[in-house]
Amino acid sequence: MKLKIAVLAGDGIGPEVIDQAVKVSDAIAQKFGHEITWRPALTGAAAIDAVGEPYPDETHEICITSDAVLFGAIGHPKYDNDPSAKVRPEQGLLKMRKKLGLFANVRPTFTFPSLLDKSPLKRERIEGTDLVFLRELTGGIYFGEKGRRDNGETAFDNCVYSRHEVQRLAKKGFELAMTRSKKLCCVDKANVLETSRLWRETVQAMEKDYPEVIVSYEFVDAVAMRLVQWPNSYDVLITENLFGDILTDEASVISGSMGLMPSASIGSDIGLFEPIHGSYPQATGKNIANPMATVLSAAMMFENFGLMEEGKVIREVVERALSLGIVTEDLSDGEKSYGTREVGDWLAANI
């Protein structure tokens, strides 16, 4: 297969972890006889510094003419610490999601047998956890009208959803549940929010089209609690943008490190694959960032092309590295650790 992949390394540790995912992907391409053309483009703070825009038109053109996007991370302290900044790296991320139609963020949470004791939660709480969040990505409070009034003393952010936006996300949730244990949880705050009531009634109306799927409805605060009590009681969860943003970060630490969890953002045409961690500016250039989440995002990318064996090989070599202690310092517990590049080299060589 010939693949054109847009590479948006972004900021902070983004370029470092992306380099390792490219190494691993090239090793897979060599092993299975594929041909990958990598197409680098600017985004985030790096793009602002270069052209004054966090998601330039040139970057968008590269993305829409590629088969997929491999994405690192965005964000920089000089923008985080300046509330008055008119242009921010995160604006580029929201713009990219909207322009590429990436309305569904797929975030799996699973455990590795060799790392069960590294989780902040007890082994018996998390063993067997294998759940997937589908977070709506292009609507809700992040995209609603926002502003100030009363001479800047009052701020507002509007949360708006249409039935269509809920339906298309829920459809992917139902379809995913059908391929797994046929359990779906709709996460909302329907006792308070009108948008949540729209979510709940829309999903309820869709149940008849998927009679094999058992659907539950839970308030977001209850889910936040149960994720640390009994995460393995969940399978597929669907929710709106803000709730999904918070809950998926909570779920990510179940595995033992945010540096382990991949994600995909999908829509009708193109998919974007990225680690769930941020730009981690404190680690930039130190060769200590964990590349596993980005490598596993590449595995999701191959699987999205229907190349299931390729994805399986990546997952197996990552599990082998973890079990042998070929890990960065966040997982080493003070024992011998490896640099970002060394982990990437080991994975590629063992593929």
Active site residue ranges: 142, 189, 221, 245, 249
| Spatial distance between the Cα atoms of 238 and 248, rounded to a whole number of angstroms | 11
Asked if 127 and 118 touch (Cβ cutoff 8 Å), the reply is: no
Contact partners, residue 134, CB within 8 Å, separation at least 6: 104, 105, 106, 107, 169, 172, 173, 176, 236, 237, 238, 239, 244
| Other Cβ atoms within 10 Å of 69 Cβ, number | 26
Tokens of 314: 């990546």
| Spatial distance between the Cα atoms of 343 and 81, rounded to a whole number of angstroms | 32
Phi-psi region at 123: left, alpha or beta (left = phi > 0; alpha = psi -120 to 50): alpha
Alpha carbon distances (Å) from 170 to 130, 134, 140, 203: 19, 8, 15, 7
Tokens of 150: 């009363």
Only one residue has tokens 């009590």, namely: 229
The enclosing H or E element of 294 equals helix 292-304
